[in-house]
Amino acid sequence: MGTSNQVGPGVPDGIDPAADSRATYDYVSDDVQRPGLVSDLEERIEGDVRFDEYSRQLYATDASAYEVLPVGVVFPQSTADVASVVEYCAAREIPVLPRGGGTSLAGQTVNEAVVLDFTRYMDSVLETDPDAARARVQAGTYIGDMNAAFAEHDLKFAPDPAYGDKSAVAGAIGNNSTGSHSLKYGKTDAYVESCEVVLADGTVTEFGEVTLSELKDRADPDGDLEAQIHAEVARILDEKTDTIDEVFPDLKRNVSGYNLDRLVEEAEDGSVNLARLLAGSEGTLAIITEAEVSLEAVPETKSIALLAYEDLIDAMEDVSIILEHDPSALEVLDDTLLELAGKTEEFGPLVAEMVPEGTGAMLLVEFYADSDEEGKQKVADLIADRVPDGESERDPSEGASEITDDPHFAFHAQEAHADDERKRFWKLRKSGNPILLGRTTDEKHISFIEDTAVPPENLPEYVADFQDLLEDVGTFAAFYAHAGPGCLHIRPLVNTKTTEGMEQFEAIAEGATDLVVEYGGSVSGEHGDGRARSQFNRKLYGDDLWETFEELKTAFDPDWLLNPGNICGDHDMTENLRFSPEYDFELGFDPVLEWDNDNGMQGMVELCHGCGGCRGPQDTTGGVMCPTFRASEEEITSTRGRANMLRQAMSGDLPEDVTDEEFMTEVLDLCVGCKGCAKDCPSEVDMAKLKAEVTHQYHQEHGSSLRDKIFANVDRLFPMGSALAPLSNYAQRLPGRRAIQEKVLGIARERDFPTFYRETFVDWFAGHEPQVSAAEADRKVLLFPDSFSNYNRPQAGKAAVRVLEAAGVHVDVPNDVTDSGRAANSKGFLDKAGEHARENVDALAPRVEDGWDVVSVEPSVAVMFQLDYLDLLSGPDVETVANNTYGIFEYLDTHGLVDDLDVTAADRPLTYHGHCHQKAIKKDHYTENVLETAGFTVDALDSSCCGMAGSFGYEAEHYSLSQSMADILLDQVRDSSGERVIAPGASCRHQIGEHEQASDDPPHPVEVLAENLDG
Ligand SMILES: Cc1cc2nc3c(=O)[nH]c(=O)nc-3n(C[C@H](O)[C@H](O)[C@H](O)COP(=O)(O)OP(=O)(O)OC[C@H]3O[C@@H](n4cnc5c(N)ncnc54)[C@H](O)[C@@H]3O)c2cc1C
Ligand code: SF4
Ligand code: SF4
From CA 609, how far away is CA 448, in angstroms rounded? Answer: 13
Pocket test for ligand 3, best of 639, 684, 916, 943 (most atoms within 8 A of CB): 639
Question: Residue with the nearest Cα to atom 4 of ligand 3?
Answer: 671
Ligand 3: distance of its center to the CA of 688 in Å?
Answer: 6
Ligand 2: distance of its center to the CA of 846 in Å?
Answer: 41
From CA 427, how far away is CA 353, in angstroms rounded? Answer: 13
How far are the Cα atoms of 120, 197, 966, 978, 1001 from residue 975, in angstroms, in the given order?
A: 25, 38, 14, 9, 19
Helix, strand or coil, per DSSP, at residue 915: coil
Question: Residue with the nearest Cα to atom 9 of ligand 1?
Answer: 161
Contact 945, 674 (CB under 8 A): yes
Task: Enumerate residues 6+ apart whose C-beta is below 8 A from 287.
Answer: 82, 86, 96, 98, 116, 139, 197, 198, 199, 562
| Burial zone of 281 (CB within 10 Å; 0-12 exposed, 13-18 middle, 19+ buried) | buried
The secondary element (H helix, E strand) that includes residue 530 is helix 530-533
The pLDDT tens digits for 458-493 are 999 999 999 999 999 999 999 999 999 999 999 999
Sheet holding 412-416, edge to edge: 412-416, 301-309, 361-369, 329-334, 479-481, 489-490
Per-residue pLDDT at 542: 97
Give the number of other Cβ atoms within 10 Å of residue 775's Cβ. Answer: 6
Give the number of the atom of ligand 2 that is nearest the alpha carbon of residue 638: 4
Task: Enumerate residues 6+ apart whose C-beta is below 8 A from 412.
Answer: 307, 308, 356, 359, 387, 390
β-strand pairing of 938-940 with 910-912: parallel
What b/e sequence results for 146-158 when a residue is b if at least 16 CB atoms lie within 10 Å of its CB, and e otherwise?
bbbbbeebebbbb
609 lines ligand 2 (CB under 6 A): yes
Q: Of 457, 495, 496, 460, give the one whose Cα is nearest residue 479.
A: 460
Asked if the bond preceding 626 is cis, omega within 30° of 0, the reply is: yes
Q: Of 428, 414, 267, give the one whose Cα is nearest residue 338.
A: 428
Ligand 1: distance of its center to the CA of 162 in Å?
Answer: 10
The pLDDT tens digits for 296-341 are 999 999 999 999 999 999 999 999 999 999 999 999 999 999 998 8
Per-residue pLDDT at 192: 98
Percent of all residues in the chain with a pLDDT value above 90, rounded to a whole number: 89
Report which residue type is found at 471.
E
The pLDDT tens digits for 88-133 are 999 999 999 999 999 999 999 999 999 999 999 999 999 999 999 9
Pocket test for ligand 1, best of 86, 141, 177, 204 (most atoms within 8 A of CB): 177
Contact 508, 441 (CB under 8 A): no
Contact 657, 702 (CB under 8 A): no
Give the number of the atom of ligand 2 that is nearest the alpha carbon of residue 615: 4
Ligand 2: distance of its center to the CA of 693 in Å?
Answer: 19
Ligand 1: distance of its center to the CA of 706 in Å?
Answer: 46
Per-residue pLDDT at 777: 95
Whether the per-residue pLDDT at 845 is higher than 60: the answer is yes
From CA 992, how far away is CA 969, in angstroms rounded? Answer: 9
Confidence band of 619 (pLDDT split at 50, 70, 90): very high
Confidence band of 10 (pLDDT split at 50, 70, 90): very low
Chain centroid to CA 438: 14
Confidence band of 998 (pLDDT split at 50, 70, 90): low
639 lines ligand 2 (CB under 6 A): yes
Phi, psi for 213 (deg, rounded to 5): -75, -35
Ligand 2: distance of its center to the CA of 514 in Å?
Answer: 32
Task: Enumerate residues 6+ apart whose C-beta is below 8 A from 437.
Answer: 445, 609, 611, 682, 683
Per-residue pLDDT at 1: 47
| Burial zone of 980 (CB within 10 Å; 0-12 exposed, 13-18 middle, 19+ buried) | middle
Per-residue pLDDT at 4: 38
Per-residue pLDDT at 674: 97
According to DSSP, residue 449 is labeled S
Confidence band of 645 (pLDDT split at 50, 70, 90): very high
Whether the per-residue pLDDT at 2 is higher than 60: the answer is no
Per-residue pLDDT at 999: 59
Ligand in closest contact with the CA of 290: 1
642 lines ligand 2 (CB under 6 A): no
Whether the per-residue pLDDT at 919 is higher than 70: the answer is yes
Question: Residue with the nearest Cα to atom 6 of ligand 3?
Answer: 677
Per-residue pLDDT at 12: 47
Lining ligand 3 with CB less than 6 A are: 625-628, 639, 642, 671-677, 687-688
From CA 377, how far away is CA 516, in angstroms rounded? Answer: 36
From CA 265, how far away is CA 267, in angstroms rounded? Answer: 6
β-strand pairing of 779-783 with 809-812: parallel
Helix, strand or coil, per DSSP, at residue 336: helix
Partners of 493 in beta bridges: 445
Give the number of the atom of ligand 1 that is nearest the alpha carbon of residue 526: 11
Per-residue pLDDT at 345: 80
Q: Of 966, 965, 886, give the one whose Cα is nearest residue 927.
A: 886
The secondary element (H helix, E strand) that includes residue 964 is helix 959-975
Say which range, 624-633, 713-722, 907-916, has the weakest mean pLDDT.
713-722
Say which range, 397-411, 736-750, 757-771, has the weakest mean pLDDT.
397-411
The secondary element (H helix, E strand) that includes residue 4 is strand 3-7
The pLDDT tens digits for 551-599 are 999 999 999 999 999 999 999 999 999 999 999 999 999 999 999 999 9
643 lines ligand 2 (CB under 6 A): yes
Ligand 1: distance of its center to the CA of 526 in Å?
Answer: 10
Ligand 2: distance of its center to the CA of 64 in Å?
Answer: 12
pLDDT, averaged across the chain: 94
**What's the mean pLDDT in 911-928?**
96
From CA 862, how far away is CA 884, in angstroms rounded? Answer: 10
Percent of all residues in the chain with a pLDDT value above 70, rounded to a whole number: 98
**What's the mean pLDDT in 216-226?**
97
How far are the Cα atoms of 24, 121, 714, 752 from residue 739, in angstroms, in the given order?
A: 18, 35, 22, 12
Beta strands in 820-971 (DSSP E): 852-856, 885-887, 910-912, 938-940
64 lines ligand 2 (CB under 6 A): no
Phi, psi for 692 (deg, rounded to 5): -60, -45
From CA 863, how far away is CA 802, in angstroms rounded? Answer: 23
Ligand in closest contact with the CA of 179: 1
From CA 701, how far away is CA 697, in angstroms rounded? Answer: 6
From CA 140, how far away is CA 300, in angstroms rounded? Answer: 29
- Predicted structure pTM score: 0.96
Whether the per-residue pLDDT at 248 is higher than 60: the answer is yes
Ligand 3: distance of its center to the CA of 256 in Å?
Answer: 36
The pLDDT tens digits for 48-91 are 999 999 999 999 999 999 999 999 999 999 999 999 999 999 99
Ligand 3: distance of its center to the CA of 787 in Å?
Answer: 24
The pLDDT tens digits for 814-844 are 999 999 999 999 999 999 999 999 999 999 9
Which parts of 29-125 fold into alpha helices (H)?
35-44, 53-58, 79-92
Per-residue pLDDT at 15: 64
From CA 312, how far away is CA 478, in angstroms rounded? Answer: 11
Pocket test for ligand 2, best of 167, 614, 648, 677 (most atoms within 8 A of CB): 614
Q: Tell me the CA end-to-end span of the chain in Å, nearest whole number.
A: 64
Contact 462, 519 (CB under 8 A): yes
Helix, strand or coil, per DSSP, at residue 287: strand
From CA 730, how far away is CA 76, in angstroms rounded? Answer: 50
Phi, psi for 194 (deg, rounded to 5): -160, 165
How far are the Cα atoms of 613, 625, 922 from residue 919, in angstroms, in the given order?
A: 17, 11, 5
301 lines ligand 2 (CB under 6 A): no
Lining ligand 1 with CB less than 6 A are: 62-63, 97-105, 108-109, 118, 139, 161-163, 167-168, 170-172, 174-175, 177-179, 282-283, 287-288, 526-527, 563, 611
DSSP for 172-196 reads HHHHT---TTHHHH--GGGGEEEEE
Task: Enumerate residues 6+ apart whose C-beta is below 8 A from 994.
Answer: 751, 752
Pocket test for ligand 1, best of 86, 104, 176 (most atoms within 8 A of CB): 104
Per-residue pLDDT at 997: 59
Say which range, 78-92, 261-275, 360-374, 730-744, has the weakest mean pLDDT.
730-744
Ligand 1: distance of its center to the CA of 944 in Å?
Answer: 26
Question: Residue with the nearest Cα to atom 8 of ligand 2?
Answer: 611
Q: Of 615, 617, 638, 611, give the one whose Cα is nearest residue 7.
A: 617
Per-residue pLDDT at 92: 94
Per-residue pLDDT at 16: 81
Asked if the bond preceding 726 is cis, omega within 30° of 0, the reply is: yes
Confidence band of 3 (pLDDT split at 50, 70, 90): very low
Helix, strand or coil, per DSSP, at residue 403: coil
